[in-house]
Amino acid sequence: MKSKTINILSIFVLFLSCGVLYYLIPKVVIFWENKDVIVRGMVSEQPGSSFVSEAKELYPAKTNSHLTEQDLSIITSPFLVFNPDAPIRKEGYGQTYSRSAAGVAIDAKTGTILYEQSATERMPIASLTKVMTAIIVLERISDLDNTIITIDREATLAEPSKIGCATSVNCDSNLLQVGEKISARNLFDAMLIGSTNDAAIALGKHVAGSQGEFARLMNQKAQELGLKNTKFCNPSGLDPDDLSEQCYSTAYDFARISAYSLKYKEIWRAFRMSEKDFYSVDGKISHNVKNTNKLLEEMPNCDGAKTGFTFEAGRTLMMTAHHPNNKNIKVVAVILNNNYRWDDISEIFRWCFEAYQWPNNS
């Protein structure tokens, strides 16, 4: 009798195990296919937030269309969170919104997605491109201070922003001159501080011989980083006349690029400079560039930002900020095609640091 009972229990456990596996395996497959765009928790508006109400009505957040609420509840369960350093959403906090065509915020250390909105949609990113340009330059030029670059005509013909002209009608400093010699350091800083296209072109051509060959190096790096939805066409991010649809990234891919760039201190040193005065090697021509980051002085925990604008991309923005109580906790946010980028990215950071709890940060 006892043996018969044990056999019945064994059969019951076997059937139960099969049922659990039958239910979980499809969910695990969904998790794996969408591991890069998981949204933690379901959307619920926070009471009293007019910002959330307005943005929710005009720009509803999107997730992959084939993910159901049940799928999300499974793939975001505690049993599938493997990284002990990953931030955890506090109870009572829903999603936030922005007036962007696409956007994302990730924890820089773990890559955990904190906020997303069409984060995997391919879009032009304009001058955000220059972050990848800076990465390639640092990997290819070992001594920025003692590397001298001669400016050619192609660089001087770049559209603004350029050294001396923030826009086509706002020129307040000397332009680069054909034949002028400038250190790679000054061009590098000018590219990141003032988002200058001429500096990006000059650096790219010095490294690779042509803008196209430099773009090949950028795309090679993107592949090394495992980015499948990013393709660069030039070092500046300007829209090529005949290739604009072939130049793209996603908010999520670019957030990963930006998080990767944190290992390069020279990039973020430049991002923190409010402006820079510099000279040609012979000291005869002076130049000035000003930072395009409007929150540099207003947001104490801002670690740096890269702006972008073209007619194809609209207004884009990448920013990194640290937790108000812990400089070691950093969040990278990217928003694409957003005319309210400064207000919205400030709200995203505020929400992230309020809605999430990081381990060992009480």
Q: How many CA atoms lie within 13 A of 217 on its CB side?
A: 22
The yes-or-no answer on residue 130 being catalytic is yes
Answer yes or no: are the C-beta atoms of 156 and 178 closer than 8 Å.
yes
Q: What CA–CA distance (Å, rounded) separates 112 from 172?
A: 42
In this structure, what token pair is assigned to residue 110?
A: 């773990």
- What is the structure's pLDDT at 348? 97
Q: Mind listing the domains of the chain with CATH numbers?
A: 2-100 (no CATH), 126-357 (3.40.710.10)
Residue of 339, 299, 289 whose CA lies nearest to 319: 299
Model pLDDT for residues 198-235, shown as the tens digit of each residue? 999 999 999 999 999 999 999 999 999 999 999 999 99
CA–chain centroid gap for 311, Å, is 20
The yes-or-no answer on residue 127 being catalytic is yes
pLDDT band at 168 (very low <50, low <70, confident <90, very high): low
Model pLDDT for residues 93-119, shown as the tens digit of each residue? 888 889 999 999 999 999 999 999 999
Q: What CA–CA distance (Å, rounded) separates 105 from 30?
A: 22
- What is the structure's pLDDT at 344? 97
Model pLDDT for residues 290-299, shown as the tens digit of each residue? 999 999 999 9
pLDDT band at 41 (very low <50, low <70, confident <90, very high): very low
Q: Is 244 helix (H, G, I), strand (E, B) or coil?
A: helix
pLDDT band at 4 (very low <50, low <70, confident <90, very high): low
Among the listed residues 98, 100, 127, 280, the single catalytic one is 127
- What is the structure's pLDDT at 66? 34
Among the listed residues 161, 195, 249, 258, the single catalytic one is 195
Model pLDDT for residues 255-305, shown as the tens digit of each residue? 999 999 999 999 999 999 999 999 999 999 999 999 999 999 999 999 999
* Residue 239 burial (CB count, 10 A): 18
Residue of 125, 123, 118 whose CA lies nearest to 310: 125
Among the listed residues 130, 205, 221, 306, the single catalytic one is 130
Q: What CA–CA distance (Å, rounded) separates 252 from 335?
A: 10
The yes-or-no answer on residue 53 being catalytic is no
Q: Does 58 have pLDDT greater than 60? A: no
Q: Does 72 have pLDDT greater than 80? A: no
